[in-house]
Amino acid sequence: EAGVTQFPSHSVIEKGQTVTLRCDPISGHDNLYWYRRVMGKEIKFLLHFVKESKQDESGMPNNRFLAERTGGTYSTLKVQPAELEDSGVYFCASRHHTNTGELFFGEGSRLTVL
Amino acid sequence: AQTVTQSQPEMSVQEAETVTLSCTYDTSENNYYLFWYKQPPSRQMILVIRQEAYKQQNATENRFSVNFQKAAKSFSLKISDSQLGDTAMYFCAFMKLSGTASKLTFGTGTRLQVTL
């Protein structure tokens, strides 16, 4: 069974540009989460999808961040325009609705904004 | 809001020795899960061990065990017979039980280096 996959693994962009990160959850997992880790700090929650609906987006920093999950399968997280403080590692995780607790994580997408 | 604190940014242990990673948390919830996740270098984060708050018995997974002190809000991880493959970032995490609205709250992590 394929795990959670994320693309790209690393992206370097200039301030003001746009980046789109993609996450493919484990097949059949209706819960999908986005997290971000800024260097040396804790991993912070961004948002949570249940199927295609946003269950909780309380962690989204501002309106420069847009997450979508059309059709309830893969998800994208777009940052537009990117700022220096957006640099970090963006993690995606998924969970089956019958599994209380364990999230399965991707390897993360490292974003560097210059 | 829940908070998770890991007070040890880095730790080192020799192979075959035992090491304990500390974690404390703050919550007003009574029903929740606690987790330890491990992220090896350049690899994805994986679950090491999980503890349900309503269970008094400490969880154990092979060489990994926890010391869960609910009243003290403490959740330490003990790794016995450390192996080189245990070298990783370890994150303590909290999840409250609230139906579909579930998310993990993480600590800042402890970098563990296992040496020969």
Q: Please provide the average confidence, as pLDDT, over all residues in chain A.
A: 92
Between B92 and B56, the more confident residue is B92
Q: What is the rounded CA–CA span in Å between residue B99 and residue A99? A: 11
| The pLDDT of residue A9 is above 80 | yes
pLDDT of residue A97: 80
| The pLDDT of residue A79 is above 80 | yes
| The pLDDT of residue A108 is above 90 | yes
pLDDT of residue A10: 95
Q: What is the rounded CA–CA span in Å between residue B63 and residue A60? A: 37
For B73-83, the pLDDT digits (tens) are 999 999 999 99
Q: Which of B64-68, B75-79, B104-108 has the weakest average pLDDT?
A: B104-108
| The pLDDT of residue A74 is above 80 | yes
Structural element, H or E, at residue A97? none
3-state secondary structure of A86: helix
pLDDT of residue B41: 87
Neighbour count for residue B30 (Cβ, 10 Å)? 10
Can you give the three-state secondary structure of chain B, one letter per residue? CCEEECCCCEEEEECCCCEEECCEEECCCCCEEEEEEEECCCCCCEEEEEEECCCCCCCEECCEEEEEECCCCEEEEEECCCCHHHCEEEEEEEEECCCCCCCCEECCCEEEEEEC
Q: Are the C-beta atoms of A25 and A75 separated by less than 8 Å?
A: yes
Q: What is the rounded CA–CA span in Å between residue A4 and residue B14? A: 33
CB atoms B43 and A3 under 8 Å: no
A53 to chain B, closest Cα gap in Å: 12
- Mean pLDDT along residues B48-55: 93
The dihedral sign for the CA sequence A104, A7, A90, B40 = positive
Closest-CA residue of chain B to A90: B44
Question: pLDDT-based confidence at B99, cuts 50/70/90?
Answer: low
- Mean pLDDT along residues A16-24: 97
pLDDT of residue B106: 93
| Torsion angle, alpha carbons of A25, A39, B77, B98, to 10 | -50
| The pLDDT of residue B103 is above 90 | no
For A22-51, the pLDDT digits (tens) are 999 999 999 999 999 998 788 999 999 999
Among B44, B50, B108, beta carbon nearest to A102:
B50
CB atoms A107 and B102 under 8 Å: no
Structure tokens at A60: 């989204």
CB atoms B103 and A102 under 8 Å: no
Q: Are the C-beta atoms of B64 and B74 separated by less than 8 Å?
A: no
CB atoms A105 and B46 under 8 Å: yes
Kindly give the pairing relationship between strand A31-37 and strand A88-95. antiparallel
| The pLDDT of residue B21 is above 90 | yes
- Residues of A near B (Cβ–Cβ under 8 Å) read 3-4, 31, 33, 35, 40-45, 48, 50, 55-56, 91, 93, 95, 97, 100-103, 105-108
Percent of chain A with pLDDT over 90: 81
Amino acid at A89: V
